[in-house]
Structure 1
Amino acid sequence: MSADHHHHTHGDLPQLPQGRRLTLMLLVPAVLLTVLGMVLLWPRDTPQAAEGADGPVTVTGQVMSVDPVDCPPVPRGDAPAEKCGSVRVRLADGAQVTTQIPTGPGAPEVAAGDDIVMLAVNDETGTVSYAISDHQRSNQLWLLGAAFALAVIAFGRWRGVTALAGLAVTFAILLYFIVPAILDGRSPVLVAVVGAAAIMLIVLYLTHGLSITTTIAVAGTLASLAITAILAAVATAGVHLTGVADETSNFLTITQGDVNMRGLLLAGIVIGSLGVLDDVTVTQSATVAELALANPAYGFRRLYNAATRIGRAHIASVINTIVLAYAGASLPLMLLFAAGNTPMSELLTSQLIAQELVRSAVGTIGLVAAVPITTALAAFLAVRRRPATPAAPAAAPVREGRRRRPVEDPWAAFVDRDN
């Protein structure tokens, strides 16, 4: 296998004499700034739950039997009970207790053999009462996670392994840096930017390798993240969003008053954009590399135009993906508003909906900006660092009677369009 074919299969720009130097020139300052930011913003006084605090204690157990009975009559006008009866449960320590069948909206449906989670509450007399709160799902989730990992590794092989390692790094930074630092009172925007930069630097190079193509994607992602953060700050201030739009954010303001809720909204926009940004920038950088390999005579303009056309198609599909993702997550809310008589103008301008509109609009603008930035940088480097074209080998003599009809490239018309 030739060296050129080896580079081509990995989607990298071939024979770049200064590619390693350029990678280090961008990578070293970015890593140093990211490490410095993480050291300065690292959480030191993260709020911890007090031991022995009042409240229900969680215990686990297994349902032994369910004994339903007819519900007693209720006074006229009151809503009848949905389910009545008792559940016998064997706790993890071997003790057996009896509790009521859970009722109400979203109550878990239990059957014999189910592993469940219960709340143990002490009353004033010291008597412990139990209530079923949820199912245990650890075994099922472990099986699903194992199936997910096997599918990724079976298809991606070594790339699948590195992708899973990158996913582990992402969760580690989220759980051990970003979330605790925000709870510690650090600026959510700064924490999100530094955390996103750390995730991007580790995951991109771990997944795609230390190459000039990855370096170009890193540069495009950093520039697009900066644009997204600035636009998010301007948009949230201009639309007068407070970041408190639902019960979860409302509860957070009560329990963690030091958290800047508008900053938390900005942090969510930055982190949410990163997941799609790296996909777009890596695709554009690799696209330019492939085009430069397949068409060595292409200059900057042709490389840029051809790769941008691919980027437009990619962005169009990504925008639809973003909208569908937000619509799917907000489907209960959309049904609630649709069932009421709220005017559409009032619905769209409410803080909860306006917050999602700003999130999707700013994220999309950041994605759109990523395409020309990454494509231009990749095309510029591909042209500047292209190796000298080797001399063409002497043509073999053509035997009479064996002339072949020239093969026309069916994509030529599409590639040369708009050039």
Structure 2
Amino acid sequence: MKWSPKFNKLKSQRLTAQLCTVLVMLLILQLMIPFVSFTNDSVLAIENTDEQTEQKDQDKESKELESPEEKPSEKAPSVDPTQEKGESPHPEAEVIPEEEMEIFRGRVLSIEEREGDAQTDGFFSDTQYAEVELTSGPLEGETREIENIITGNPQYDIHLEENQEVLLAANYQNGEILELTLYDVARDRYIYYALGSFLVLILLIGGVTGIKTILTLVFTGFMVIKVLLPLILEGYNPLILSVLISTFVAVVTLTVIGGLAKKTIIAVLGTIGGLIVAGFLALYVGNQASLTGLSSEEAQMLQFADVADLDLQGLLFAGIIIGALGAVMDIGMSIASACQEMVEINPRVQRSQLIQAGMNIGRDIMGTMANTLILAYAGSAMPLLLLLTLYDMSYIEIVNMDLMATEIIRALAGSIGLLVVIPLTSLASGFMLTPDNKRRAKRDEPKTKSE
């Protein structure tokens, strides 16, 4: 099949635009790294300054509270001859350095198990004595024996096996290790295996698009971890931050995947509209339902963390927007791409026909995508659902629980955001992809009649 020169030129222009977009994205990443490091350094500097100010205030208060009997001694202080020479008046009182802890890797060589050898809280527990070879750190290659007490609580117990990789906590002073204890099982290797399989499949199936997908994933993770989270910890509004950063992520991601084309602009408009609707719906319903944002243990721990002005309710709404971002972008790009393909195949398609086609495509996607989002939230809340089923609670008790209401509103707000994307993207496709079709049709009518 031979392509026309116009098509080849258009294809080369799109490829060039996509490559330029990738380069711009890499440049943005390079420029943001110093900004984020500067932000983190500034936060640490502020914290250190606050600590020094508090210490000075405490010292000042302690001096003011001194008794009058001690004040005359300050006017005529006794001079110690050892101090004149620069020696310490108490040479035997040495400053003991604080203990530090570092995590090292190790591999279990052999295990000796003893039943009822240790006693914890009045109950006898089993003990494992393991020979472990250190595979990292200053003691790499050495073998040490560690003790692993098994209490019968699966939440805290670690059952060691031979050739198992473990993490060891080393407590040391002045570079000398004082104690070596079992910290946890090393799981990161298997995470890397799964991640490697994921990346290989993306490259094999996607090709160039797979490379773009990997770049956008890295960029999204960078924006969430290095930009969104530090700004939230500084006290900025989580809801506004999540909307702005999600919009920026959507613009960059869709531009890298779709190139500098009209379908990308259409998908971005639909995505932004869906995110705004989901965010404000969650904000309104959450405020009316008096959601606290403290439904999870992690949120309750953040309440007592040393973080000033942390909006936990806003953090809940921000999580709803971030959770729906991927699905919203998927629907927007799917509809915009399909509509652009229709216009390329039939340039004379009418605006109403294109809008109707976009709505039909959106309806097909809607059923599976809404199920995907709701089932994802239901899957994360599976232990909660099992507990409610086990204790046979009534419907009115279940639906009015803060934890359950939070999960329901989270799922519904994200799903409504998905639904709003469909008409928004379809309308944008109709008005942006077929602006002059009616004029063109009227202009071509006399030519058709004359022929």
Alignment TM-score, normalising by the size of structure 1: 0.76
Equivalent pair of 2:295/2:403 in contact (CA under 8 Å): yes
Cα drift, residue 128 of structure 1: 4.8
2:385 aligned to which of 314, 317, 334: 334
**SS of corresponding position for 1:243:** coil
Equivalent pair of 2:150/2:158 in contact (CA under 8 Å): yes
Task: Spell out the pairing of 1:230-309 with structure 2 (5 A cutoff).
Answer: 230-258=280-308, 259-309=310-360
Aligned residue number for residue 111 of structure 1: 161
Aligned-partner residue type, residue 71 of structure 1: G
Aligned residue number for residue 59 of structure 1: 104
Q: Please list the CA deviations of residues 355-374 of structure 1 after superposition, one character each: whole Å capped at 9, or x if unmatched.
A: 11111111111111111011
Equivalent pair of 2:127/2:147 in contact (CA under 8 Å): no
Cα drift, residue 80 of structure 1: 6.5
The percentage of aligned residue pairs carrying the same residue is 23
1:85 partnered with 2:128: yes
Aligned-partner residue type, residue 350 of structure 1: M
2:375 aligned to which of 300, 324, 332: 324
Equivalent pair of 2:118/2:149 in contact (CA under 8 Å): no
User: Higher helix fraction: Structure 1 or Structure 2?
Assistant: 2
1:162 partnered with 2:164: no
**SS of corresponding position for 1:85:** strand
Q: Please list the CA deviations of residues 397-418 of structure 1 after superposition, one character each: whole Å capped at 9, or x if unmatched.
A: xxxxxxxxxxxxxxxxxxxxxx
Q: Please list the CA deviations of residues 262-289 of structure 1 after superposition, one character each: whole Å capped at 9, or x if unmatched.
A: 1111111111121111101101111211
Alignment TM-score, normalising by the size of structure 2: 0.71
Equivalent pair of 2:239/2:314 in contact (CA under 8 Å): yes
Q: Please list the CA deviations of residues 107-130 of structure 1 after superposition, one character each: whole Å capped at 9, or x if unmatched.
A: 3332122111133468xxx99554
Task: Spell out the pairing of 1:195-206 with structure 2 (5 A cutoff).
Answer: 195-206=245-256
Number of equivalenced pairs: 363
1:372 aligned to which of 399, 417, 423: 423
Q: Please list the CA deviations of residues 344-391 of structure 1 after superposition, one character each: whole Å capped at 9, or x if unmatched.
A: 321222111111111111111111111101110111122215595798
> Take 1:254 and 1:150, find their aligned partners in 2: how far apart are those partners?
42
> Take 2:232 and 2:275, find their aligned partners in 1: how far apart are those partners?
19
Which has the higher relative contact order, 1 or 2, with Cα contacts under 8 A spaced 6 or more apart?
Answer: 1
**1:276–1:248 distance in 2 versus 1, CA, 3 Å:** same
**1:131–1:345 distance in 2 versus 1, CA, 3 Å:** farther
> Take 1:293 and 1:252, find their aligned partners in 2: how far apart are those partners?
53
Task: Spell out the pairing of 1:42-53 with structure 2 (5 A cutoff).
Answer: 45-46=42-43
Aligned residue number for residue 2 of structure 1: 4
> Take 1:302 and 1:309, find their aligned partners in 2: how far apart are those partners?
10
1:355 partnered with 2:357: no
**1:189–1:120 distance in 2 versus 1, CA, 3 Å:** same
> Take 2:161 and 2:317, find their aligned partners in 1: how far apart are those partners?
44
Task: Spell out the pairing of 1:163-202 with structure 2 (5 A cutoff).
Answer: 163-202=213-252
1:219 aligned to which of 252, 269, 279: 269
> Take 1:383 and 1:156, find their aligned partners in 2: how far apart are those partners?
30
**SS of corresponding position for 2:159:** coil
**1:287–1:79 distance in 2 versus 1, CA, 3 Å:** farther
**SS of corresponding position for 1:241:** coil
Aligned-partner residue type, residue 98 of structure 1: I
Cα drift, residue 303 of structure 1: 1.4
Equivalent pair of 2:168/2:184 in contact (CA under 8 Å): yes
Q: Gaps spanning 5+ residues in structure 2: where?
A: 18-27, 49-96, 446-451
**1:5–1:388 distance in 2 versus 1, CA, 3 Å:** farther
Aligned-partner residue type, residue 179 of structure 1: L
> Take 2:166 and 2:398, find their aligned partners in 1: how far apart are those partners?
40
Aligned residue number for residue 17 of structure 1: none
**1:133–1:127 distance in 2 versus 1, CA, 3 Å:** closer
**SS of corresponding position for 1:384:** coil
Q: Rg: which structure is higher?
A: 2
> Take 1:337 and 1:303, find their aligned partners in 2: how far apart are those partners?
47
